[in-house]
Chain A
Amino acid sequence: MTHSLHREGSLESLEREYVLFIYPARGFNYKGSAPKVRRMVELLYQAGPVNMIPTSLRRNMYSGVTPEEILESITVEGTRVYSVFNDREKLKKALILLKKADEGISIMVSGVTDRVREIAAELGIEPHMVNLSLGIHGRTDRLAPADIREFTTMCGHGVVSPHLVKDMLRRVKTGKVSEWDGSVLLAEPCTCGIYNPYRSSELLREKAPLYTVDRW
């Protein structure tokens, strides 16, 4: 699953956003992983993610679920955790805490490679592998416009619909919903919890003036 790899947008916008995964490996460190993952999530909370979902409870941070419910759900071996940070220093804090805890579970960070390289160097972490996005190929003429993809590619599984983004732009533009509330609604279909409502809110504010509205 490479669903955080192809996020589109300006470099400035991408530089502020980091996706962090906690990922036990089946057959290698699954057994005994649940309490370790739970402790790692407790550490993530200290760093302040803007969204997070464990696979044991696929409800994002804006669904009304409490941190206690999220932690209590992590009882299943192999539970994975997906989270997003919208600040370099918060990601750094998370990595400092996770490095110190040294639970032995794989951690992935998606973000601008140069920034991740800097952070790793500052913390004395030696990354093991990089997964590069070599772009979109085939009938790219059938894709939603690039500015809509800045929203939809925050959900790599493709369940944040371009039509919903356009509908939300219309609702924001006509004052029916705020940028934040619209972004929380856009985040809901993404069951991995890596849709960043803060970035989405900025994008709605930025894009709404560019769209004309034909349905009030």
Chain B
Amino acid sequence: MLLDMADGYVEQNRSLDKRKNLLRGRTVVNLFFENSTRTRTSFELAGKRLGADVINMQVSASSVQKGETLIDTAMTLNAMHLDVLVVRHPDSGAVKLLSEKVNCAVINGGDGSHEHPTQALLDALTIRRRKGRLSGLTVAICGDVLHSRVARSNIHLLNVMGARVRLVGPRTLLPSQVERMGVEVFHDMRAGLEDVDVVMMLRIQNERMRGNFIPSIREYFHFFGLDYDKLALAKPDAVIMHPGPMNRGVEIDSDVADDVERSLIREQVEMGVAVRMACLHALAGPLPNADGGA
């Protein structure tokens, strides 16, 4: 399965010779309608380390033209015979719409507030490598769940893998009837963090907010920011995660974020490359090439 395959790539990425020719002759395009540093870079690295030709396309998703650009861009790219298309888009469902228009494999690199599946996979890999398992763990996902695709994908994956998922946040940042997704909901962060194995912080997504969801950063940090005080309620070996980019002092205290013992935030980035290599491998690897594959 993907996580095991990714585990293998972690070692490859740590060695000196990071390159394989598994995807030689394949074309991977990163089509990003939204800014991204780590997702785009890690897909790019993943593709290159597997020997594929990787092209990055940053399309500005401005104003009313974005939908037309989406379909038009899809048709244009399709004519260029790609093998894998990685897409990020600010609107939920946009990747699905685009996938109906192209013949190649499409990887969802994050669509609106809907899903970010490779982030959930890399989070799962990170947890599994530290804890040795996913099943039976309690994971608290804290903060701006309303706008978070990371939260939704993690809820799905962690539930499937047998973990228990808690959501923690103010009511304005939790979507309606989210408890029906198989999670326990807490509005008091201290109660929500009690005895958890993993604390997954979410970024406050100011760019997706229309209007006022929280009265002030100060108040938000006071009640929902992760500091040592609140973390003390979690299990002593509880780990801290964040999909990045972090708003230090908003949802997470800098000292906690940089705690080498507890914070897995940097490891998450490392796992990102491995997981995306596994995804590319799974989708494009089985196709034959001049080297006869890996």
Q: Do chains A and B stick together as partners?
A: no
Please list the residues of chain B having a beta carbon within 8 angstroms of any beta carbon in chain A.
Answer: none
Please list the residues of chain A having a beta carbon within 8 angstroms of any beta carbon in chain B.
Answer: none
